[in-house]
A and B are shown apart, each in its own frame.
Chain A
Amino acid sequence: MSKIVEIKKLLFDYIRRDEEGNVEGITTAVDNVSLTISQGDFVAILGHNGSGKSTLAKHLNAILYPTEGTVLVDGKDTSEEDNIWEVRQAASMVFQNPDNQIIGQIVEEDVGFGPENLGVPTPMIWERVEKALKAVNMYQFRSKSPNRLSGGQKQRVSIAGVLAMQPKCIVLDEPTAMLDPSGREEVIEAIRELNKKENITIILITHNMEETIYADKIYVMDEGKIAMEGTPREIFSEVEKLKSLRLNVPQATMLAYELKKAGVPLPDGILTKEELICHLS
């Protein structure tokens, strides 16, 4: 499998300056991180507020450049200015608030904005728009105004918008934080479909533990470093360690952990309610 993301010894400093431009303080947000993600992987990044996960993500889209180290996206060095458009086309980002990302008056116009800017010929734009909207199950809303959509629907339109640029990798920074339970489910389902059917690499940043149980791999960040990495089962087996990193585990995992502590013979790292029910009955 080809490598879509290669991060080598990445270090990033936020530099605070006073009004005269003198350096007031330096905060190292990402501290010597190395990781590789293969094309088609579904990777989740967890970490408390301020752990450096969003800063890391912004490097994949050339919004931020490394202070030290290198970031290669689809083989291209993100710190070279000539690569910026190729990098951004290979790895697209979806952010937390759908209202900040939607600009079109009607849904299909919004989704067409990306490919139009890439200079894609008009007939092909329509083709891409149709395909992207169908992929996130929003085709029936194509001529609606985005204002009239629910949060989950808006966020799926945002995903269609990046999809129409045909990226190899989509980075989602807390895409469900503002959504209600059904909106969350819709978005996560759409992401999983894209990963399975279109083989698009997914990098999902989230505070919601339930959303990460289908990932191939989870990275947990703390103080700019990678504190844990492994499969969801490996990660969620370490309940106490996650708690010390200000995180949590899915509720089914928590219940299994508590039962096990009370003497019920259960394996570590149960992830879903189905698994737990199966072991208990």
Chain B
Amino acid sequence: MSLILDHVSYSYDVGTSYKQEALKDINIVIPDGQFVGLIGHTGSGKSTLIQLLNGLLKPTSGNIYYNGQDINDSDYDRKTLRSKVGLVFQYPEHQLFEENVFKDVCFGPKNLGLDEKEVNLRAYDALEKVKLSHDYFYQSPFDLSGGQKRRVAIAGILAMKPEVFILDEPTAGLDPKGSEEILTLIKNLQKDTGMTVILVSHNMEDVASYVDRILVMNKGELKMDGSPKDVFKKTEELSNMGLRAPEVTYIVRELRKKGFPVDDSAITVSEAKETILNALYHKILNE
């Protein structure tokens, strides 16, 4: 049970003079339950990749397998795919439209053809999961704050019970606390339900603290695939691709260069704190 991309390429406007190769020979295996971060500068192919995963685009060549089945086979059920691989677009709150929050969340499961009772149960459950207070259930989604609207939009996808949950910059435009709340929520959902999460983000600090694995895209190619520590070690390569490591990584590396005995693989504030305190402690002992 997994998501496999086998030699996948994709070009826009094939057969015209505007043809543009957006993805070149991508090979990825994502096992169940992994929290994957997808990074890359604007135009690196991230959005094309996630649209391929949920069947919105079809590869120009290569195959995508979900649970052992080629999702682009003529007899494959696309509707089921879209309920199993849920995609939350950027600024998903722009897609809210119903007269109240609860109805909006019902829209997805209703379209799956489920009976009313099941639809209501799922909507209720999804809104509970995103921790939206009951007071808001029958309010217009347009009267909510930015962070609340985003929760409703995320609940709308959760109500389809996806096994793979893809989010395109879910924290863009949210204040720091709001971002943290959304990411913690997603992390907990991944841990509790065992679903796979693919997070597209421009925020390296977020990626460093939440994901198990990072995929780095550049000019349509998969350039790196590894643990956050492995990827953020390669600061120079990242910088050539218009990306960077978290700020603390540069701090520990610089300290190390100055002869400070710190572990320079730290990528979060707490890791950096730990290793700097250790180094200071040893320095005092030696003096």
Contacts and interface: CB of A to CB of B under 8 A. Distances in A.
Size bracket of the A interface: 35 or more
Contacts of A207: 173-176, 179
Nearest to A184: B202
A273 B204 contact: no
B244 interface: yes
B42 A183 contact: yes
A207 B146 CA distance: 13
Interface stretch (A69-77, A83-91, A246-254): A246-254
Given A49-B175, A151-B42, A252 B146 contact: no
Interface string B251-266: 1001100111000000
B173 A150 contact: no
A182 B242 contact: yes
B6 interface: no
A68 to B, nearest CB: 24
A48 B247 contact: no
B155 to A, nearest CB: 18
Contacts of A51: 175
Q: Which bracket fits the contact residues of B? A: 35 or more
A161 B129 CA distance: 44
A255 B251 contact: yes
Contacts of B202: 179-181, 184
A49 B147 contact: yes
A47 B247 CA distance: 22
A138 interface: no
Nearest to A209: B176
Contacts, number: 109
Interface in B252-287: 254-255, 258-260, 269-270, 272-273, 276-277, 280
Contact of A246 (B177, B248, B250, B272): B177
B14 interface: no
B244 A48 contact: no
A276 B86 CA distance: 43
A264 interface: yes
A4 to B, nearest CB: 27
Nearest to B145: A50
Tell which of A174, A247, A276 has the most Cβ of chain B within 10 Å.
A276
A276 B251 CA distance: 8
A262 interface: yes
Contacts of B259: 281
11 contacts: A150-B41, A152-B42, A178-B90, A246-B176, A251-B247, A251-B248, A251-B269, A255-B248, A255-B251, A273-B251, A280-B255
